[in-house]
Amino acid sequence: MRRKKLAAALSLCLMLAGLSPVLAAEEPLDKVVNGSLMVTRVGGVGTGLVVGPPVATLRETYSSYVSMTSSCAEHVGGKDCGPSCLLVSLVTLPASIVVGTGKGVYYGCKNAFTHGFNEPFSPASFSISKDYEGK
């Protein structure tokens, strides 16, 4: 009886010693985790492509409108003069819509692909974060 217990304990120790390199290696576990996150990552990229470009378009349109209006108003009568800003905004508003749409679609898609895969559903993938790549 004692021999059987000793043999069982010895075989258990040898079995655990044989599995220790497998348990110590985290690479297979990382592959399994990355494989299981693939659906989430693809969903993050898809959602970033749906939400990101409109948000980036609005941000880029506003920032280009403000910068174009102030720079063009300097040449007309100064950016502190209300009538000159109003006059200039008749030209800069359509121009900023065109420029903001192009830049917004570019940066929205870029953020969706770069941040949506590694950090799914993060504010950076939706172009919402303050440090988004359109600045």
pLDDT given for residue 129 in this prediction:
81
Domain boundaries, the chain: 41-130
pLDDT given for residue 23 in this prediction:
46
pTM listed for this prediction: 0.69
Torsion of CA 9, 7, 20, 31, to 10 degrees: -100
| Least confident segment among 39-48, 92-101, 124-133 | 124-133
Question: E strand or H helix at 88, and its extent?
Answer: helix 82-118
CA-angle at 128, arms to 106 and 67, nearest 5°: 65
Work out the average pLDDT over 91-106. Answer: 94
27 pLDDT more than 80? no
Label residues 12-39 b or e (16+ Cβ within 10 Å = b): eeeeeeeeeeeeeeeeeeeeeeeeeeee
